[in-house]
Amino acid sequence: MILIVSEPKDLHANAVEAKLLQRGARVCRFDWAEFPGTAAMSISYRGGHKSVRLTRGGEVFELAECTSAWLRRPSKPRVPTHIPLPLLKEYADEECYRLVQDTTNALEEVPWLPGPIDAIRRADNKQLQLQLATQLGLEIPPTLITNEPDEFLEFYRQHDGQLIDKFPSVAMPASQRTGRELIRYTQPVTTRDVGYARRLRHSPMLFQARVPKKFELRITVVGEAVLAAEIHSQSTKRTQLDWRHYDLGHTPHREHHLPDSVRRACLELVARLGLCFGAIDIIVTPDDRYVFLEINPNGQWLWIEEQTGLPIGDAICTALMNPGAPTRFPTSRPSRASQEKCP
């Protein structure tokens, strides 16, 4: 049985689940939001045997016997709202969230895609990403992460004001009233930002020198498969700074053949992060340099497949159905995972 952990409206998970079912796989699709309202979990240790039973929809699934699992994008558990005391509800919220995460982490015998929770969190570290990319011979933009206004101003002068800024981590504040997360696109640093530089003391930001773009690459690594797509973001003003402003009708996407050195670096980067999946963003400059920006350990890819025909969904299916094949498929022990092949 293959376990997919994601929310019901996740189009990526829906596409892979359909492919798996077409291939005859048995699939258990589970969203953490089902727990504890419509799903129950029981973890037992008896006589040296471990059991992780998930009960939902009248069915019982033994998660410890899964042949592989995909931790995609689950929602948080939803505790019933009729718990009378706010303190008790807060406790139940936290305990349920911890239980589903701890249970996932403790399934050490199950190969996880993209990797264990701890490895995914480690891979989200932008400083570590840049450090590893440099070690692997990839060029990165001059970068400064700081809450020191004078450091920012000096960096601004060094690069003649040609900077962009980003959040320095994946922390996404959410509104308690609406439940919506704050998403911030890549922005150019302006003279107005310079005027408010002192406010930087309250929260750090990541600044990078602007890199001229011929086009951008979204490189999806699945096991040993490296699938690269060109995003011609400079074709339309809307996507020039950040292609996530999607203007697909005016932004050509094409398959891209990577130089062997860049391909090997992408594979090794994913492996050193203890993962077997990663979505890597790279700029190709007008003089054909490859400049690494970041890696998303659970990034989106479905639009790339639809635009280019690259078989990313099939590659994920193959990895999930054949975790013993020659693919970097870590288990829940990420220690030294960067040096290990999948079991």
Q: Calculate mean pLDDT across residues 278-289.
A: 97
Report the pLDDT value the prediction gives residue 177, as an integer from 0 to 100.
40
pLDDT band at 235 (very low <50, low <70, confident <90, very high): low
Mean pLDDT (the chain, rounded): 88
Report the pLDDT value the prediction gives residue 250, as an integer from 0 to 100.
73
Percent of the chain with pLDDT over 90: 71
φ, ψ (nearest 5 deg) of residue 59: -110, 150
Q: What is the pLDDT of residues 158-204, one digit of tens each?
A: 999 999 898 887 655 544 444 455 566 778 888 888 888 898 899 89
pLDDT band at 310 (very low <50, low <70, confident <90, very high): very high
Report the pLDDT value the prediction gives residue 241, as an integer from 0 to 100.
64
- Domains and their CATH numbers in the chain: 2-110 (no CATH), 142-209 (3.30.1490), 212-339 (3.30.470.20)
Q: Calculate mean pLDDT across residues 140-154.
A: 95
Percent of the chain with pLDDT over 70: 86
Report the pLDDT value the prediction gives residue 333, as an integer from 0 to 100.
36
Report the pLDDT value the prediction gives residue 172, as an integer from 0 to 100.
53
Q: Which two tokens stand for residue 207?
A: 């600044």
Q: Is the pLDDT of residue 335 over 80?
A: no
Q: What is the pLDDT of residues 41-68, one digit of tens each?
A: 999 999 999 999 999 988 999 999 999 9
